[in-house]
Amino acid sequence: MDDFDLVVRNAHVVTAADEFDCDIGIREGVIAALGRDLPSGRKEIDAAGRYVMPGGIDGHCHLDQPMNDGTKMADDFYSGTLSAACGGTTTVLPFACQFKGQSLRAAVDDYHARAGGKAVIDYAFHLIVSDPTPDVLNRELPELIAEGYTSFKIYMTYDDLKLNDRQILETLAVARREGAMVMIHAENTDCIAWLTEQLLAAGHTAPRFHAASRPMLVEREATHRAISLSELVDVPVLIVHVSGREAVEQIRWAQGRGLQVYGETCPQYLFLTSEHLEGDDLHGAKCVCSPPPRDKANQKVVWDGLENGVFQIFSSDHAPFRFDDPQGKKVAGEDASFDQIPNGIPGLETRMALLFSEGVLTGRIDPQNFVALTSTNVARLYGLYPRKGSIAVGCDADIVIWDTNVDVTIRNEMLHHNVDYTPYEGMHLKAWPGVTISRGEVVWANGRAQVQKGRGRFLECSKPLPARPKSERKLVREG
Ligand code: DUC
Ligand code: ZN
Ligand code: ZN
């Protein structure tokens, strides 16, 4: 009789804090022992010489999110989570999005129906609050937070989603009282509308003008305002998908003043620039996302922010729209103007390898920081720690074993998403996840997915400690 279901032998384990060599013994999906020369497992994997890290947690992705503009997301919970697993991610947090006029509860129920029976790795939901009526703020949101939906996103732009400053204050106050983490999409909506009008009137309709309609000033102003509103309410906030210097400066300024302002960035701000939107045909639409990618100098600023602690998390912001598809990037036809192109790019499967290859292997990001940015901090910020986000006794056995002696050229056909392109086509990487283990089950190995549809479990999130205002923090341990 074996002691373990699975033993990962000779692992070079990296966590957000440590680096050590050991065997990992897994029983019933949980890490049961770390040690040298552990007894046998029913199944064994020899990881000699390889980095073994906590599975990635993608804290920002969009899967099968209902749309009301004629578009349809290309990935549902099956293709999206399959793609994530093949890229070394073992937990995803997509968004249950409230339409204006809809109850939050209805959005959550609908989203469960979309996820159930499909996901191949574990998942939790963020909420998107777009209609903060008194009933939503006083009843629905507190009830949902208590049930394990402990983070939500609010938007400062998009007519269908945006909140005004008064609504933001009221929503932040609920987050403070109830202990939820608030993610903010910070772009000034009126500036974007005004610039868009000017550009279209001048006949500037090509995809590249998407970037011109959302310059960094627009992000800077909204980021500053979001920070100010959160300071007024005395509640932590997380600024998502930060694109470059101007927003980084605002976040660093706030952090320097002791405010609890967290930052997220994404691969598109390290590896793409606004030049990827160029061309007079629609091809630039493939890289239309918001905020838009900036320039090379800003890529450096974002790399610096990952190194020096401005950013706590690195997420894909996977928002999958097919290019050659009337429900995707071409929803408004071949001659669409930039403002009619759905915003978002795919990236669930490439997120981890891009940062490992171009960050860790180049020495820009140390291995512990890589784990923090891609897994541990995500778990902490969204109430999944310590079940997720580490390699320690008692954690779910969510593990990625890295291949680092490889030469991978990214091709869309090798990816498992349902999108007909990747923005990273042709990039050469020196690392790729060799094995992904989700709750003790191998879901990706030897270049093959081994997944059972629907095996992924919904995760209720606890109230995250980083969402608690410093003024209210007290650590209590009973017993
Ligand atoms: N914001 C996101 O978070 N994702 C896709 C598009 C957007 O504007
Ligand atoms: Zn956003
Ligand atoms: Zn997003």
Percent of the chain scored above 70 by pLDDT? 99
Question: Which tokens is 125 given?
Answer: 């939901």
Q: Average pLDDT, whole number, for the chain?
A: 97
> Is residue 49's pLDDT more than 90?
no
Nearest CA, atom 3, ligand 1 = 317
Ligand 1 pocket test target in 160, 317, 329, 338 with most atoms within 8 Å of CB: 317
Nearest CA, atom 8, ligand 1 = 290
| DSSP letters spanning 180-194 | -EEEEE---HHHHHH
pLDDT score recorded for residue 472: 86
The span from the CA of 6 to the CA of 27, in Å, is 7
What CATH number corresponds to the domain at position 267?
3.20.20.140
Give me the domain span that covers residue 172: 1-479
Ligand 1 pocket test target in 60, 183, 343, 345 with most atoms within 8 Å of CB: 343
> Is residue 477's pLDDT more than 90?
no
Instruction: Give the H or E element holding residue 56.
Output: strand 56-58
* Gap from CA of 344 to ligand 3 centroid (Å): 7
pLDDT digits (tens, 9 = 90+) for 176-191: 999 999 999 999 999 9
Beta bridge partners of 345: 318
Convert 199-233 into a string of H (helix), E (strand) and C (coil).
HHHCCCCCCCHHHHCCCHHHHHHHHHHHHHHHHHH
* Gap from CA of 188 to ligand 2 centroid (Å): 12
* Gap from CA of 280 to ligand 3 centroid (Å): 26
Instruction: For 54, list phi and psi in degrees, rounded to 5.
Output: -60, 140
Ligand 1 pocket test target in 60, 62, 153 with most atoms within 8 Å of CB: 62
> Is residue 473's pLDDT more than 90?
no
Residues in contact with 318: Cβ distance below 8 Å, sequence separation at least 6, in sequence order:
58, 61, 62, 63, 75, 80, 344, 345, 346, 347, 348, 351, 417
pLDDT score recorded for residue 1: 83
Residue 72: name the closest of 345, 325, 347, 318 by CA. Answer: 325
* Gap from CA of 39 to ligand 3 centroid (Å): 44
> Is residue 478's pLDDT more than 70?
no
* Gap from CA of 153 to ligand 3 centroid (Å): 9
Ligand nearest the Cα atom of residue 160:
1
The span from the CA of 309 to the CA of 293, in Å, is 21
CB 37 within 8 A of CB 75: no
> Is residue 479's pLDDT more than 80?
no
The span from the CA of 332 to the CA of 325, in Å, is 10
Q: What is the DSSP letter of 283?
A: G
CA atoms within a 13 Å half-sphere pointing along the CA-CB vector of 300: 2
Nearest CA, atom 1, ligand 1 = 290
Q: What is the DSSP letter of 136?
A: I
pLDDT digits (tens, 9 = 90+) for 295-335: 999 999 999 999 999 999 999 999 999 999 999 999 999 99
State which ligand 1 atom lies nearest to the alpha carbon of 157: 8
> Is residue 418's pLDDT more than 70?
yes
pLDDT digits (tens, 9 = 90+) for 391-407: 999 999 999 999 999 99
* Gap from CA of 155 to ligand 2 centroid (Å): 7
The span from the CA of 208 to the CA of 213, in Å, is 9
pLDDT digits (tens, 9 = 90+) for 374-383: 999 999 999 9
Ligand nearest the Cα atom of residue 214:
1
* Gap from CA of 404 to ligand 3 centroid (Å): 29
State which ligand 1 atom lies nearest to the alpha carbon of 290: 8
> Is residue 114's pLDDT more than 90?
yes
Instruction: Give the H or E element holding residue 210.
Output: helix 209-212
pLDDT score recorded for residue 80: 98
What is the mean pLDDT of the segment spanning 424-448?
98
What is the mean pLDDT of the segment spanning 150-160?
98
Higher-scoring residue by pLDDT: 5, 1: 5
Three-state secondary structure call for residue 396:
strand
pLDDT score recorded for residue 254: 98
Beta bridge partners of 53: 400
The span from the CA of 360 to the CA of 276, in Å, is 25
The span from the CA of 69 to the CA of 72, in Å, is 9
pLDDT digits (tens, 9 = 90+) for 57-81: 999 999 999 999 999 999 999 999 9
Ligand 1 pocket test target in 127, 156, 289 with most atoms within 8 Å of CB: 289
Instruction: Give the H or E element holding residue 254.
Output: helix 245-256
State which ligand 1 atom lies nearest to the alpha carbon of 291: 8
* Gap from CA of 223 to ligand 2 centroid (Å): 12
* Gap from CA of 335 to ligand 2 centroid (Å): 25
Ligand nearest the Cα atom of residue 59:
3
State which ligand 1 atom lies nearest to the alpha carbon of 343: 6
> Is residue 281's pLDDT more than 90?
no
Which residues surround ligand 1 with Cβ inside 6 Å?
A: 62, 185, 241, 289-290, 317, 319, 343-344
pLDDT score recorded for residue 363: 97
Order of strands across the sheet with 95-97? 95-97, 126-128, 151-155, 181-185, 237-239, 261-265, 313-314
The span from the CA of 89 to the CA of 267, in Å, is 15
CB 54 within 8 A of CB 399: yes
pLDDT digits (tens, 9 = 90+) for 326-377: 999 999 999 999 999 999 999 999 999 999 999 999 999 999 999 999 999 9
* Gap from CA of 289 to ligand 3 centroid (Å): 9
State which ligand 1 atom lies nearest to the alpha carbon of 317: 4
What is the mean pLDDT of the segment spanning 231-260?
98
* Domain count within the chain: 1
The span from the CA of 207 to the CA of 285, in Å, is 6
Nearest CA, atom 5, ligand 1 = 344
What is the mean pLDDT of the segment spanning 109-128?
98
* CA pseudo-torsion sign 112, 115, 118, 123: negative
- 353 to 202, 237, 397: CA distances (angstroms): 41, 28, 20
* For helices 189-201 and 216-233, angle between their N-to-C axes, nearest 10 degrees: 160
* Gap from CA of 45 to ligand 3 centroid (Å): 36
The span from the CA of 401 to the CA of 240, in Å, is 28
> Is residue 280's pLDDT more than 80?
no
